[in-house]
Structures are given as C-alpha cells and as structure tokens.
Chain A
C-alpha cells in the first residue's frame, strides 16, 4: 500500500476528513498506535509476544535437538555446550522442548480466543440489544458460569471430556466467555441508545443487521483489550491443567507438563522444573504488559 500521490504518509494519517473507509480504518489504528508506542512497558510486552511467535514459527531451525528424541545414556544432565539448558529424565533436550513448547501454548491461546471471543460477543450483544426476557435469561446463564472459579470448572470439564490438549482447550474456552459477555452487554447498552442506532432503525435496518454491523464493531476495542489480558490467565490455566496431567499428553512438549515431570527431581535436578516455569512467566507477563498498553491506548477511561 502507498500513500496517495501528492501527500506524505503523515498528512495521509492525520488528515481531518478521511477519504475512504480504508483511510478511516488506517487512521484509527494510527491514533491508537501513537500513545501505545510511547508506553515503554507496552512495547516490552509487544516485543515479548512477537518474539515468542517468531520462536514458534522458526522452531525447527532454532531447536538444537528433536523435542521428543530420548537419549537414556544422557539423562538428567545439567546445562552443557551440547544441551544448553540440560536434559530431562528421558534425556530429552530441555531447550528444544521449550522452543517447540511455544507452538503448543500459542495454539492453546489462539483456539481459546477463537472460542471465547465470538461466544462472548454474540451472547453479550444479543442480550444487551434485545433486552427484556432474553437479557434476563442470558445474563442468568452467565452468572451461573461465573459462580464457579474458572480453574475448578475447567478441571471438572476436562475430567469429564477426558485428558488431552484439545479437551483442555474446549474446557478453557467454555469457561472463558462469561466475563466477555458481560463486557459486550455493557458496551451494547450504551451504544444502543445512541442516535446513529436510532437513525439506522428509522432507515429500516433489521435487528440482526444493527447488531452485527453497527453494535459489534464498536464493542471490539474493549473486547480485544479484555481478550489480550485474559490470555495471561489462559496460559496459567493451561499450564495448571498440563501440570495435573489433564492437558497435553506425553511426549508432546508442553510447559506445564514439563514442570510436572521435573517435580520428582526438583531437589537435585532443579533445572527441569525451573526453566519451563520461567518461560510461562515471561510469556504471561508479555501478554499482561501488552494488554495493559492496549487498554491505555484504546480505552483511556478504564485505566488508573
């Protein structure tokens, strides 16, 4: 994409009246980016998340060994030139397992976001826009899900569905949408009473058109912020399920399960459990910082 001829990028981005839909979208992204880029902790968060995504993409080239190749003659070794972070109880290279583990954790995050985001948005926007009996019923269901601590409900669901990474993703996704629905409903309530919705109704737009084309796009910024902040929690819950043996099954490299396998040896070979935990902390911290920065940039009134 190029700036239109005769103008500089800066003029294009800060023009008072957008010339097209795309121009307006680009300008909005730019307006959010300016405060975000001036927030150092937000940039740190973004860099962490971007680095982990890059590691996941280039895992085959970055890993020094196969994540599942066992070398029983070289078990429980401390860090050496051959094995940078040592080896685990089956002689597998911990560094390589951490690198490949980024794919597992990012897959969990992505799929959970894909499950929780749309459910929360549709339930919340429908409840808020339609109101009345629908609203009462949908919010009652939301309250019921919020009555369980999230980890407990995810545990019970995974135990019912059976252990495994896909079931863990379903369980975490099914427990994650209620706060998002609450948020989308609150946003919808303020949006639905505005003049442009009344105008759309006068023109004859159907309820579904108004909800999907007018209400939902305006719910997106706060929803994205909330979803990003939520990802830090998702990482921790997924790791917790993995730790209990309900998430990823061996030999798949998953950070929580790696901590669980290192637990038996923690007093003598501490590195097996220590490094995956540090990896979890860093990625989770990255999402927290990134989300905080996004919130400050997109939704200044919500930050303290």
Chain B
C-alpha cells in the first residue's frame, strides 16, 4: 500500500474532494483494466490448452472415414486454416458473447448445458459455505479466546485434517457410513427415483423449487440428499474459515485496546464480541468470499462422487469423453467466477473498512 503524497495544508483542504474522486476513478479504471487483462490471459491459456489436444477437432466432427474434400471443407468452416492470431481473436470474440461451441457429448450449445447444471452447484456450494460459517466462525473465536486449551487443539486438528483428507474419499466414506450402514441420509443424486421431476424447475435450485411448489415431501427428500455432500464440502470450508478466524482473533486479542477494555471492567463477552470480533469482521468477509471460490474446486470431485448433476460433474463427464468444448467452457466459467470473487472480496474490503478510503 502506498501512503498519500505529502501535501501542504492549504492544498489538502482545497483539493481533498476532487483528488479523492480522481483517485477513486483512477483506481476503478486500474482494477477493471487488470481484471480485463486477467480474463484475456485466462482465455489465452484455455485457447492454448484447446490447441495442444492430440485429438483432431475436425475428425471429431466429420468422422474418421470422411473424404479429403469433406475434411478440408469442414476445416475451413471451423476456421482452422486461418492464422493462429485470427483464430484466437475469433475464440475471444465468441467467448465474450457466451459462445463456447457445441458439446459433442450432449449435442447442445455448451452455454445452455452450463446454464442448466449451474444452479445445482450454486445450491450445493452455498449450503456448504453456510455450514462452514455457522460452525467455523464460533469455533475459531472460541479457539482464540481459549488459546492452548482443548478447544484450540480440536480446532487445529480440524484444520490439519481438512488439509490432509481427499474430499472424494471423505464423500465415499460418508456414503458408506451414513447412507449404507445407518440409512440417515439419501444416496447419490439430488432426489430419489420416486421423486424425480416431482417439481418443475423454476430456479433450478431444488430446495427453493420445492418450497415454491409447497411440495414438502419432495423438499424432505431433497434435503436428505443434499445434506451429506454439503456437509462434506462444508467441512473444508469450515476448516479454512476456522483457521483464519482463529489467527485473526489471536492477533486482535493481543492488542492494547483489548487490554484497555478489560481494565475498564467490561465483561469478557463484550471484550471479545463487542471489540475484538468487530475488528475482524471485514477480513473475515473477504475470507468467506475466497472460501466460496475454493468450494467450486472441491465441488468437482464431490459432485463426481455423489453423482450431483452440477458444473463439476459436467466438467468431469466432458473430460472423460474428451469433449474439449465442454471442458474449456466450464474451465473458463469457473476461472471467471474465481476472478469475480477475488474482485468482490477486494471491493468489500474497500467499502467496509474505513481505513482504505
């Protein structure tokens, strides 16, 4: 961070307002420019990945036994005979307008497929984040307040295990124990076969659709299906949020204003929640925004294990069938969401923390 340039007192009072807006506008242009550059880079990386594929995209369309004339015509139509720079320009122009080509797997435009599967992932990741916040924040605060106690050790172990367990294995073991042995939760997928298509998709998020249709039997079935994958995914978000909350709180509790608050005779609750916690709220919000991005990553393997029909399953299905349009479309979308979340957390920090103004 750069401090403001030193100015004489007169110029500060005269030019405060205008220079602040000027700085804000410059900063906005700078941030938007860097986001645009990053997205362009992201498209360049995916373009290169798409080019190194050993599969000939023309052969995939015309078939192995097509005559040479047909092959060349298809190649021309796909623009593959043009220079690489021209191809990249077309790739970017198409991607910006949301055209990622047609999926070989479903024979539909990739963007339509993604629109269809995306709500399922949003639903899962949001629920997982809520679980992570609801458990991670209190546990992190408690671990910091009772530093070096058993609560602290539990929090540390949860964090360590969260860094060491493969998410797909945790999901499989969860299915084995809570579905097959105990029967507490529903199995794979979003609904049982009996409830399939019982509610018409409005938002695509099954819990909300059931609520809108007031179909509480379907809702209960959907809850039984989502609870295990959301908990498995939420565990990783919990581990991350808890670790960050703990270290933020430990830092704050060591500061002098906390000692001053204690000397004043405030209750421990007021000291911790009223003083220290209020000061970590801003960095915590940015941590939660980032954890949402990491969940998108975790959801790829989780969705595969739970046969959850979301973006992660779509990506792995496309991968296994070498459907590069689907793979690249999903990759670009996830990358853009990641960039968006980073931007959001940066913005939230600026808006919520008065010191950055």
Contact = CB atoms under 8 A, between A and B. Distances in A.
Whether chain B is bound by chain A comes out as yes
Interface size band for A: 35 or more
B172 A259 contact: yes
Query: What is the predominant secondary structure among interface residues of chain B facing chain A?
Result: helix
B45 A145 contact: yes
Interface stretch (B84-92, B280-288, B319-327): B319-327
A221 interface: no
A244 B301 CA distance: 8
Nearest to B333: A152
7 contacts: A147-B42, A149-B334, A263-B305, A266-B176, A267-B175, A281-B165, A288-B163
Interface of B: 34, 37-39, 41-42, 44-46, 49-50, 52-54, 160-161, 163-169, 172-173, 175-176, 180, 247, 250-251, 293-294, 296-297, 300-301, 304-305, 315-316, 319-320, 322, 324, 327-328, 331, 334-335, 338-339, 342
A152 B42 contact: no
Given A141-B41, A156-B327, A147 B335 contact: yes
Contacts of A119: none
A179 B300 CA distance: 22
Query: What is the predominant secondary structure among interface residues of chain A facing chain B?
Result: helix
Contacts, number: 143
A288 B164 contact: yes
B250 A144 contact: no
A144 B39 CA distance: 8
B164 A232 contact: yes
A186 interface: no
Given A147-B42, A156-B46, A243 B160 contact: no
Given A156-B328, A274-B173, A284 B319 contact: no
A157 B331 CA distance: 11
Interface centre among B37, B38, B49, B175, by most chain A C-beta atoms within 10 angstroms, is B49
Given A144-B41, A145-B45, A147-B41, A152 B316 contact: no
Interface string A139-182: 01101110111111101110111100000000000000000000
Interface in A243-272: 243-246, 256, 259, 263, 266-267, 270
A152 B49 contact: no
Contacts of B304: 243-244
Contacts of A140: 37-38, 41
A280 to B, nearest CB: 5
Contact of A266 (B42, B45, B172, B319): B172
A43 to B, nearest CB: 15
A280 B166 CA distance: 7
Nearest to B246: A304
A148 B42 contact: yes
B331 A147 contact: no
A235 B310 CA distance: 25
A120 interface: no
A145 B335 CA distance: 10
B176 A267 contact: yes
A188 B198 CA distance: 61
A266 B175 contact: yes
Given A152-B297, A232-B163, A245-B320, A160 B50 contact: yes
Interface string A276-304: 11001100110011000000000000001
Contact of B169 (A153, A233, A277, A288): A277
A155 B169 contact: no
Given A240-B168, A244-B320, A152 B41 contact: no
Interface centre among A147, A240, A267, A274, by most chain B C-beta atoms within 10 angstroms, is A147
Given A144-B45, A147-B335, A149-B338, A270 B169 contact: no
B163 A155 contact: no
Contact of A160 (B52, B294, B296): B52
A239 interface: yes
A224 interface: no
